[in-house]
């Protein structure tokens, strides 16, 4: 008996799951901000006064503006032997806000430059007296040390958790310390100063 045989072909599909990778590039950046952002609110205002300078400049009268905006006594004055200041309208301190700094960072204030400033009239003439400004004082108005005087020996201007802090500046205005032969005019006397706040 002859047997017939059949050849069965079987195919097997083989999938190879090989490691085919892909790549992409990216960049890394960092922004540096070592300088604090300092914003001025109000300018320093010594108010409206009557002033008489000692013609020899030997004695001076002075007027001090408290750096505390909420102080009961915002200004005080002292007269010299031949110099006089009388307060007609009280002045007010300058105010500043520091922002975008490291949260809870401790900051320092450098006295305005020049340290002994001058206030002059727009029409300052020969032999006319000027005013002198010095004895800068600071008061912290917001932040961790709010409602405290600023201590330059142990700086306590500390930002809050949002990286912000505020402070105010007071100073002393004095009549001219040099000889003059003309009286003060009935005009505004002004001066420009630079203040620095840093880490």
Answer with the residue of higher pLDDT: 72 or 159: 159
pTM of the predicted model as reported, rounded to 2 decimal places: 0.84
Per residue in 80-102, pLDDT tens? 999 999 999 999 999 999 999 99
Delimit the domains of the chain by residue range.
Answer: 37-198
Query: Residue 116 — pLDDT band, cuts 50, 70, 90?
Result: confident
Average pLDDT of the segment spanning 130-149? 97
Question: Who's near 168: CB < 8 A, 6+ residues apart?
Answer: 67, 68, 69, 93, 94, 95, 96, 138, 139, 141
The helix or strand, by DSSP H or E, that contains position 111, with its residue range, turns out to be: strand 106-113
**Could you give the 3-state DSSP secondary structure of residue 133?**
strand
Length of the chain: 199
In whole angstroms, what is the distance from residue 81 CA to residue 59 CA? 6
Residues linked to residue 133 through DSSP beta bridges, in sequence order: 117, 173
61 Rama sector, left if φ>0, alpha if ψ -120 to 50, beta otherwise: beta
């Amino acid at each position: 008996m002859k047997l017939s045989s059949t050849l069965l072909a079987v195919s097997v599909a083989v999938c190879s799951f090989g490691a085919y990778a892909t790549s992409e590039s990216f960049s890394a950046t960092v922004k540096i901000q070592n300088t604090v952002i300092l914003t001025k609110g109000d300018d320093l205002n010594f108010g409206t006064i009557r002033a008489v300078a000692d013609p020899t400049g030997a004695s001076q009268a002075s007027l001090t503006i408290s750096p505390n905006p909420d102080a009961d006594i915002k200004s005080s004055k002292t007269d010299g032997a031949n110099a006089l200041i009388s307060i007609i309208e009280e002045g007010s301190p300058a105010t500043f806000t520091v922002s975008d700094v490291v949260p809870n960072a401790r900051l320092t204030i450098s006295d305005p430059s020049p340290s002994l400033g001058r206030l002059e009239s727009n029409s300052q003439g020969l032999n006319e007296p000027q005013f002198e400004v010095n004895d800068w004082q600071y008061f912290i108005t917001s932040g961790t040390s709010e409602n405290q005087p600023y201590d330059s020996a142990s700086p306590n201007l500390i930002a809050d958790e949002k990286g912000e802090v505020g402070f105010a500046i007071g100073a002393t205005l004095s009549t001219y310390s040099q000889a003059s032969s003309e009286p003060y005019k009935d005009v505004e006397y002004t001066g420009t100063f630079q203040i620095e706040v840093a880490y």
